[in-house]
Structure 1
Amino acid sequence: MRQIHYILVTLLVAMATGAQGQENSNSATSRNLDLFSDIYKQLDLFYVDTLNADTVIGWGIRSMLRQVDPFTDFYPEDDDELRQMSTGKYAGIGCMVRYSSKEKRTVISEPYEGTPCQQAGLLAGDVLLSVDGHDTYALPVDKVSEMLRGEAGTSLDIKVRRGEEEKTFHVTRQTIQMPSVDYWGMLDDSVGYIFLEAFREGAFREVRDALGELRGQGARSLVLDLRGNGGGAVDECVNIASLFLPRGQHLMSTKGKLPSTNYDYRTALEPVDTLMPIVLMVDGGSASCSEILAGGMQDLDRAVLLGERTFGKGLVQSVRELDSGGTLKMTTCRYYIPSGRCIQAYDYRHLNADGSAKTLPDSLTHVFHTAGGREVRDGGGVMPDVKAQPDSLPTMIYDLTASDEFFAYTTRYAREHADSINPMTFTLSDREYADFVSYIQGSGLKFSRRSAELLHLLRRVSQSEGYADDAKAQFDALEEVFSKDVTADLEHFREPVKKALEDEIVLDACMQRGAIRRIAARDKNVKKAAEILRNKEEYNKILGK
């Protein structure tokens, strides 16, 4: 009896402590909301300039959400961005645009295949002069993008400059559905390839249909490319996994603060093929649903993972409509894949001195085991079974390909040679590459070199420390290396520049499907994935079978 009495007292104390803790939390919330309201009222009454409440309070909201994690965000009532991100749908003409500093106008960078933009005849490189009579000169690119969107079925007139010619196109907006599968095809007579760019609405259907077509063409194994795939809808991810796993197979579970966020995800559909050998390709851009699919297939020994460590996003977001208008997307739980591990790599609640999120060192991660007993770890993304790095490129390649000059050259070349460009065989001749070098040289394009900047800083430091004269010869030799002009760079890095140039021209002429088809056929890591699939003994050895 005394023991029962002790237990009851303990429970009552615990309940009282919990209630007090909740009361203290509610009190702190109320107090701080009152403080925020009071501060804004004082600003509104006495600040020297008139304040816009939507703007200033909007700053406060976004500042608060930034302190939580990068995935929690607020979307105003009239903002369609969240719906577009989750579904891939929007009403517009169907293209990507970019701002040209040289033109001081927005230009079409990539029409999407089968959309009003392409069907009307607009091309990559077209400079937008006006939209429905409104001049676009110096307008921000997001403003012009907003002008191109609107209700499906409505029309607009777009005036562009193409080379020296001005043209006007009458275009009718449609509901644009961004595909999740950008390309699928056969790598050889037995290995199929699917590039899954995102887990948007309809991704499962697209993968299922592509898989069916590949199997009909003789595919007996599959490369599923998730590189750069930042995630999407969990249901689409689970359904895609169900193509390759037995029905009822546990894929992941979620755990959060509230019991309503705890859920066990299992495959609910009949599989298409539970035996087909699969290589999943991943990299640092593979996140969220990509990691659920890749980590789940790894934990179940159902696929070989090839590539680089994934991003490490083990958090799940939910969407809540607010009574006051707008939508809050916020992190509500963590997910755990079949081995029991959570692959979250970043601690957003504890930051480093530079403001970046802390990460867990590999030495402090925990060991888990796949269904077949292979060791895997938590806390740092998903490590591939076979590591494969992409080719490293000099920084000048990134500067070059991002420049207006590079874009203007590739789009002009694509327009002038569109009928003769085959994505699988296209190459530039030596004369054409020399023409490109001359064009860039005449454009005045310059690259900022970090090495030259650091050398300049080192000279100053050595001067202050009294070593400048002793190191002058070495500094002069380094400066000669680092001070090459653009022409010398384009010759020194001829092969990677030429490859980037050819790939961009194919994208401009043959659009994304043609570009990915070309890249997949030439990618050394795609070839490595196919080699693993052709070698059944090596494939099984990697999976510990």
Structure 2
Amino acid sequence: MSSDTSKSPIRNSRAVVRLPIIIGITLAAGVLLGSTFFSGGKKLSDVAKGYAKYREVLMLVENNYVDSVNTDDLVDFSITKMLEKLDPHTAYFNSEEATAARSQLESGFDGIGVEFNIFNDTVYVVTPLSGGPSETAGIQSGDRIISVNKENLSGPGVTNAQVYKVLRGKRGTKVDLGIERVGMPDKINVAVVRDRIPTYSVDASYMINNETGYLKVSRFSETTYDEFKTALKALKSEGLKNLILDLRGNPGGYMEKATSMADEFISGDKLLVYTEGKDSRFDRKTRSHVEGLFEQGPLIVLVDEGSASASEILAGALQDHDRALVVGRRSYGKGLVQMPIKLSDGSELRLTISRYYTPSGRSIQKPYELGKGEDYSQDLSHRYESGELFNADSIKFDKSKVYKTDGGRIVYGGGGITPDIFVPKDTLLNSKYLFELYSKNIIREYALKYANEHQKQLEKGSFDNYVNNFQVTDAMLSELGRDATRAGIKLNEKELNHSRPVIAAQTKAIIGRYVWGRKQKSGLNNEVFRVLNPTDNVYQQAVQMFGQAAQLEKGKFSSMNIPRN
């Protein structure tokens, strides 16, 4: 190093200057949240040594590196890479990412409506938000978004901020996505029209018949518990005696909203969930304590591979106390607790501090290795390839993690909530032609066009009459096919006929929603679910299981004939 360089005055960038502030604010947050944040770990002096080394390197790069560098970017990158050595859910968000992430649960926004995670430099869809434009366009859990408007969205350096920037935008604008999907050899191109993403989390609440209700919860946000109570009270006023609670595709959210919901179903003073960590200050037990709205009556809970975190806490509590019959497929398996720590510049560290456990002692978290997120992120693909989504016998249990419910039924720990009644994923009516219709929004656009042209005629009747009597005709499907041809989709009569039930149901649901549902402001999408649920194999099985759910509630397990693995 030349003498001129060594004598140059030290010029600290904003990133270098803010490092002590970041450390300080982190320590302060630790003090507020439980005496000393680092208690139980290395001494603060050891942490300070590491910080001093890092600051020294950063200053040397800033002042002496041959080219100009953005040290703010270096700081963000190094923090992100450091956290990759930990569990898959500890994460760092810069200020833009933190604001966008909080808006998922706290306020509305304009975008395409997906929950996503970035693993191994690839954007994975956790779940499309119910009623949002991505769901309408056919985006599915496990899809990989590899390009946006023909620009790559995968590869080294992809960040949450980058994803938010390209996926969010003014409502009504279109975004073209390049999708890779398990089971399909070729990339799928999907056009999604951005819209206002609703803050509602109760998607549907209606009576199936005089005694049976259906309630769909898509996430656990700030308003979920209040929405849930309002919906449940309305169902009870209509004669509710049996309930289906649908948590499929629900990625979680605020734990206390899930436990408050559990408390509405579970009587007395019972454990709902507990957490344990390295520091006992983060250990917590949550118990039932209120007189709930539906503590008696057969209850069925639907879960699948998209049900995660708070959804699993709720389903696990109900299953362990033999309060609900759980139907569907094994849930996601996220049982790590993150504490959000806001840093001085608006960025946020979400640090894993403990694990969730169900009342019986089961860990919800599926296995992972520190610093090895690739296999973890590929879990849904592995489930597909192993056959687990289609056959209960393919579910692998850790026989060393056997637990029992209150009534003595065997349940397994070590990864998600396994249903009492397994129902396979239904892909029989899928086809490439169907995915192409989804990819260019043909079904939605045709349905909206039809609804506009026939709205006055349709509104003369009731929605009940529409559900029971309206048929999507051959002429309508032929017109839809012509729209698809004009959009560049080559007609495939064989695949059209094969997927006809799905196309017809989707078309009918969207027409019904547009004509009858868009005027109400409760956030409910009852019109869609009332049309589509009867074609849903998990729902179809669930409505037939209330006899067993009633036996479960009475503690008559021997007569239930519930298959266990």
Alignment of 1:275-286 (within 5 A): 275-286=296-307
Report the CA distance shift for 1:543/1:234 in structure 2 as closer, same or farther (over 3 A). Answer: farther
Deviation at 1:275, TM superposition (A): 1.9
Q: Matched residues, percent identical?
A: 28
Q: Deviations over 1:475-524 (max 9, x none)?
A: xxxxxxxxxx7444323433333334444444555453321232234434
* Residue in 2 that maps onto 1:22: 42
Aligned mates of 2:376, 2:214 — CA distance in 1: 40
Deviation at 1:361, TM superposition (A): 5.0
Q: Deviations over 1:78-135 (max 9, x none)?
A: 5422332333x24x6x78579xxxxxxxxxx99989xxxxxxxxxx99xxxxxxxxxx
Q: Highest CA radius of gyration, 1 or 2?
A: 1
2:546 is aligned with 1:533? yes
Alignment of 1:42-81 (within 5 A): 42-45=60-63, 49-77=67-95, 79-81=98-100
Q: CA RMSD in A?
A: 4.0
**Alignment partner of 2:544: what SS?**
helix
Deviation at 1:253, TM superposition (A): 0.9
**Contact kept in structure 2, 1:282 and 1:310, CA below 8 Å:** yes
* Residue in 1 that maps onto 2:246: 225
2:393 is aligned with 1:372? no
Alignment of 1:167-186 (within 5 A): 178-186=199-207
**Contact kept in structure 2, 1:348 and 1:357, CA below 8 Å:** no
2:502 to 491, 496, 505: 496
Report the CA distance shift for 1:527/1:354 in structure 2 as closer, same or farther (over 3 A). Answer: closer
- Aligned letter for 2:430? P
* Residue in 2 that maps onto 1:424: 467
**Contact kept in structure 2, 1:316 and 1:335, CA below 8 Å:** yes
Deviation at 1:357, TM superposition (A): 7.2
Alignment of 1:105-124 (within 5 A): none
For structure 2, the 5+ residue unaligned runs are: 1-38, 115-127, 138-148, 152-161, 175-195, 383-394, 519-524, 560-565
- Aligned letter for 2:424? Q
**Alignment partner of 1:241: what SS?**
helix
Report the CA distance shift for 1:319/1:537 in structure 2 as closer, same or farther (over 3 A). Answer: closer
- Aligned letter for 1:428? V
TM-score (norm 2): 0.66
**Alignment partner of 1:332: what SS?**
strand
Aligned mates of 1:295, 1:111 — CA distance in 2: 23
Deviation at 1:363, TM superposition (A): 3.9
Alignment of 1:113-512 (within 5 A): 148=170, 178-349=199-370, 351=372, 356=377, 362-392=397-427, 393-394=429-430, 396=432, 397-419=434-456, 420=458, 422=463, 424-425=467-468, 426-445=470-489, 486-507=492-513, 509=515, 510=517, 512=525
- Aligned letter for 1:530? V
* Residue in 2 that maps onto 1:461: none
Deviation at 1:75, TM superposition (A): 3.2
Deviation at 1:43, TM superposition (A): 4.2
**Contact kept in structure 2, 1:401 and 1:500, CA below 8 Å:** no
Higher relative contact order (Cα pairs below 8 Å, separated by 6+ residues): 2
Deviation at 1:250, TM superposition (A): 0.9
Report the CA distance shift for 1:180/1:370 in structure 2 as closer, same or farther (over 3 A). Answer: same
- Aligned letter for 2:70? N
Deviation at 1:234, TM superposition (A): 1.3
Aligned mates of 1:186, 1:532 — CA distance in 2: 17
Comparing 384-393 with 496-505, greater Cα deviation is found at: 496-505
- Aligned letter for 2:87? D
**Alignment partner of 1:335: what SS?**
strand
Report the CA distance shift for 1:146/1:442 in structure 2 as closer, same or farther (over 3 A). Answer: closer
Deviation at 1:74, TM superposition (A): 2.7
Deviation at 1:47, TM superposition (A): 5.2
Deviation at 1:333, TM superposition (A): 0.6
Aligned mates of 2:228, 2:170 — CA distance in 1: 30
2:104 to 79, 85, 95: 85
Aligned mates of 2:411, 2:355 — CA distance in 1: 18
Report the CA distance shift for 1:320/1:179 in structure 2 as closer, same or farther (over 3 A). Answer: same
Aligned mates of 1:197, 1:311 — CA distance in 2: 15
Report the CA distance shift for 1:214/1:351 in structure 2 as closer, same or farther (over 3 A). Answer: same
Deviation at 1:177, TM superposition (A): 6.9
Report the CA distance shift for 1:353/1:302 in structure 2 as closer, same or farther (over 3 A). Answer: closer
Deviation at 1:294, TM superposition (A): 0.7
For structure 1, the 5+ residue unaligned runs are: 1-18, 99-108, 114-123, 126-136, 150-157, 161-174, 447-484
Deviation at 1:239, TM superposition (A): 1.1
Aligned mates of 1:341, 1:440 — CA distance in 2: 49
**Alignment partner of 2:42: what SS?**
helix
Report the CA distance shift for 1:493/1:83 in structure 2 as closer, same or farther (over 3 A). Answer: closer
- Aligned letter for 1:22? K
Report the CA distance shift for 1:341/1:110 in structure 2 as closer, same or farther (over 3 A). Answer: closer
**Contact kept in structure 2, 1:77 and 1:325, CA below 8 Å:** yes
Deviation at 1:395, TM superposition (A): 5.2
Deviation at 1:34, TM superposition (A): 4.4
Count matched residues. 431
> Which 4+ runs in 1 deviate beyond 6 A?
109-113, 137-141, 144-147, 357-360
Deviation at 1:352, TM superposition (A): 7.9
Comparing 290-299 with 265-274, greater Cα deviation is found at: 265-274
TM-score (norm 1): 0.68
Aligned mates of 1:507, 1:77 — CA distance in 2: 37
Deviation at 1:213, TM superposition (A): 1.6
Report the CA distance shift for 1:68/1:245 in structure 2 as closer, same or farther (over 3 A). Answer: same
- Aligned letter for 1:81? A
**Alignment partner of 2:337: what SS?**
strand
**Alignment partner of 2:496: what SS?**
helix
Q: Deviations over 1:378-411 (max 9, x none)?
A: 0021111111124214352334313254554344
Q: Deviations over 1:256-300 (max 9, x none)?
A: 111110011112322223221101111111111111111111111
- Aligned letter for 2:42? Q
**Alignment partner of 2:370: what SS?**
strand
**Alignment partner of 1:230: what SS?**
coil
Deviation at 1:201, TM superposition (A): 1.3
**Contact kept in structure 2, 1:191 and 1:533, CA below 8 Å:** no
Aligned mates of 1:30, 1:395 — CA distance in 2: 58
Report the CA distance shift for 1:301/1:544 in structure 2 as closer, same or farther (over 3 A). Answer: farther
**Contact kept in structure 1, 2:431 and 2:499, CA below 8 Å:** no
- Aligned letter for 1:228? G
Aligned mates of 1:536, 1:340 — CA distance in 2: 23
Aligned mates of 1:531, 1:403 — CA distance in 2: 36
**Contact kept in structure 2, 1:532 and 1:538, CA below 8 Å:** no
**Contact kept in structure 2, 1:304 and 1:543, CA below 8 Å:** no
Comparing 325-334 with 221-230, greater Cα deviation is found at: 325-334
